[in-house]
Amino acid sequence: MPELPEIEALAAFLREHAVGRTVIRSDVAAFSVIKTFDPPLTALNGLTVTGANRYGKFLALEVDGLHLVTHLSRAGWLQWREKLSPSPPKPGRGPLAFRLHLAPSPESDADPDAPPAGFDLTEAGTQKRLAVYLVRDPLEVPGIARLGPDAMRVDLEAFAALLAAERAQIKGVLTTQSVLAGIGNAYSDEILHAAKLSPFAIAARLTEAQVSTLYTAMRATLTDAVTRSVGQRAATLKSEKRSGLAVHARTGLPCPVCGDTVREVSFADKSLQYCPTCQTGGKNLADRRLSRLVK
């Protein structure tokens, strides 16, 4: 799932490639992705793209006062197309969910007869959860209205206060968007590894020193990932993300810090990865879901 660094990179990419272009039209290939009806998508036609922003893990294209917002969910992606065929896509086939056609920028020297560029929003797999909203204010999107402070903008004092209020496992707290916006399963594993904290530690019980270490690790991990991601083309973002990971999705491989074997344990409906030597004093975390089944 794309998280804060990947969405930040996609916003930067759209600022560079989409801003200044005029919307020709949008195609909806999977009708379930459109979550709003007023204004209609046709309201975009003829308007100029004026900006691109990130709200937590939401990506928003600013189009002359309107906001075309998307949540890519677990298997969604944005693919930029230098050339787009004008014929509409066949609905319900393949991963394509939504397509935006953009005219060449009027200020560029581009050939006015050049084919339109634009982007596709695609979603792999059978679970379709990608969402698109067209709103006059990003806060009209319920998921954006609920967001806690952004992980890249929260200061240490506010971060400490929000952890102190959570009597839940830190892994879950870091990934709850209404508490802290932008972090998902992959970067929470990486941040906890960098901070040498157990994913099952209770947030409210962390010491002042642990909170401060966690904050520093969060900022360093995200800043590093944003730096590596911005400037990458959308197509190479996923491999760039993977290459920077120390523990996430690396079960059975050596920890790059201490050489211990990275372990996996189930958490909520997913699994998380951690290094016992770095994070849990050498102890393996109990897989509660499995032990329940065994009983």
Alpha carbons 203 and 173: distance in angstroms, whole number: 7
Least distance from C-beta 247 to Zn ion, angstroms?
8
Query: Which one of 77, 278, 280, 285 is in contact with Zn ion (CB under 5 A)?
Result: 278
Among the residue ranges 18-26, 60-68, 126-134, 269-277, the one whose residues contact Zn ion (CB under 5 A): 269-277
- Of 114 and 220, CB closest to Zn ion: 220
Q: Does 195 bind Zn ion (CB under 5 A)?
A: no
How far apart are CB 160 and Zn ion at their closest, in Å? 26
Considering the rule CB under 5 A, would residue 114 count as an interface residue with Zn ion?
no
**286 lies in the site for Zn ion, by CB under 5 A:** no
Which span sits near Zn ion by CB under 5 A: 2-10, 203-211, 238-246, 254-262? 254-262
Closest by CA position to 203, among listed 186, 215, 221, 216 = 215
- How far apart CA 204 and CA 133 sit, in angstroms, is 36
Told to check if 158 binds Zn ion by CB under 5 A, we report no
Q: Does 117 bind Zn ion (CB under 5 A)?
A: no
Q: Tokens for 230?
A: 């911005």
CB-nearer residue toward Zn ion: 15 or 196: 196
> For residue 17, with 0-12 CB atoms within 10 Å meaning exposed, 13-18 middle and 19 or more buried, which class applies?
buried
Q: Are the C-beta atoms of 283 and 274 separated by less than 8 Å?
A: no
Give the x-and-dash track for 48-87 against Zn ion (CB under 5 A). Answer: ----------------------------------------
Q: Is 247 in the site for Zn ion (CB under 5 A)?
A: no
Bridge partners for 123 per DSSP: 76
Give min distance, CB of 254 to Zn ion, in A: 8
**Nearest distance, CB of residue 184 and Zn ion, angstroms:** 22
Which residue's Cβ lies closest to Zn ion? 255
Contact call for residue 257 and Zn ion (CB under 5 A):
yes
- Considering beta carbons, is residue 194 or 255 the nearer one to Zn ion? 255
Minimum gap (Å) between residue 29 Cβ and Zn ion: 44
- Percent helix, strand, coil in the chain, to 5, is 35, 25, 45
Buried b (16+ CB within 10 A) or exposed e, 113-137: eeebbbbbbbbeeeebebbbbbbee
In our burial notation (b when 16+ CB lie closer than 10 A, e otherwise), range 197-213 reads: bbbbbebeebeeebbeb
Least distance between Zn ion and beta carbon 279 (Å): 7
How many residues contact Zn ion, by CB under 5 A? 7
Q: Does 192 bind Zn ion (CB under 5 A)?
A: no
Closest to Zn ion by CB, 110 vs 258, is 258
Which 3-state string (H, E, C) describes 216-254? HHHHHHHHHHHHHHCCCCHHHHHHHHHHCCCCCCCCCCE
CA atoms of 181 and 174, how far apart (whole Å): 8
Q: How far is the CB of 262 from Zn ion (least distance, A)?
A: 8
Q: Where are the alpha helices (DSSP H) in 128-236?
A: 142-145, 156-164, 170-175, 185-194, 208-229
Residues 60, 53 contacting (CB under 8 angstroms): yes
Which residues bind to Zn ion, rule: CB under 5 A?
255, 257-258, 260, 275, 277-278
